[in-house]
A = this chain, B = another copy of it.
């Protein structure tokens, strides 16, 4: 059995409080006694106060939870999420706060419990699906949280760091529209939950449950509606998961059409890269006859190498700011609602439509 504070106190012949002070408040006892206590502790193999007991008594933990509303291991697959995490860890590092990555089981009850049982002082929620249930649980626990998307219907004290998804997506779509493209496809991840990869019919973007995807699709729609391309004229594609493979799967059949779209607008770089993969896999003649422009979203490092036209959003900064917002809440609630700038990065994956 590992020795406790009490054991050390007994060994030295002082009270528990004094030993506690030796560790946590050195100014409360004489240096000589402190040295003696620490020596005795080493002797006994006491490695310092039990973190759990300390947290219980002190009322705080020194760790924040990071929640991905999707598989945790997915977070390490998406370069954007990794950059976000890098930002989070940088801010946490500065505050001496640890990061608790909480995996969420697939079943709702289990996921709920995971959030209830996390020993943390607050949550940084990376929105990648339906997270409102989690925010409710966190709220019930009385813990603060910060999200990466504005929560609809939340009060003015709700802190978040987001981008204007719709405007950002529109900027990409306007660029593509300006190049003359009129027969286009929109590609999103999980546009409708559980829908298989491939085309989908939807009367309006409002039907998409996930707010980020909804916003981006709406932005695409805005730009094309402005040049007279009706929503019903665009092909809407969904991918089963935000992965390169899923992106490729989603467009494969469409590309085999007689008259495939001249441009595909994807809701993420990862999906867009998958589209590029699928395009590269076509035979030479098809590729020449039907060139396809592609845009992504996020501007992950791989996008530059692939020459992908995309919308850049500052990933690391998003993570860093979110964490800072959580760890040191601004006095002014308005300062807790951050909208980051985005920038259209034009590369070689978008070209004028062949006339």
Contact = CB atoms under 8 A, between A and B. Distances in A.
Interface of A: 2, 45, 47-48, 50-56, 61-63, 71-73, 75-77, 82-83, 85-86, 89-90, 92-93, 96-103, 105, 110, 113-114, 116-119, 137, 140-142, 305
A89 B101 contact: yes
A137 B47 contact: yes
Contact of A93 (B48, B52, B73, B83): B73
Nearest to A75: B89
B98 A142 contact: no
15 contacts: A2-B141, A47-B116, A47-B141, A48-B141, A51-B117, A51-B118, A52-B52, A52-B56, A56-B56, A63-B119, A76-B83, A76-B86, A82-B82, A96-B114, A101-B101
Central interface residue in A54, A77, A113, A119, by most chain B CB within 10 Å = A119
Contact of A86 (B48, B62, B77): B77
A337 B52 CA distance: 31
Instruction: Identify the 8 closest CB pairs spanning chains A and B, nearest first.
Output: A76-B86, A47-B140, A93-B103, A51-B119, A99-B101, A48-B116, A73-B90, A47-B141
Given A47-B137, A118-B51, A98 B103 contact: yes
A50 B52 CA distance: 12
Central interface residue in A50, A62, A71, A93, by most chain B CB within 10 Å = A93
B82 A76 contact: yes
B85 A76 contact: yes
A92 B71 CA distance: 11
Contacts of A93: 71-73, 103
Contacts of A85: 76
A85 B72 CA distance: 11
Given A61-B119, A76-B89, A98-B100, 5 more contacts: A45-B140, A51-B116, A82-B82, A93-B103, A98-B114
Contacts of A97: 103
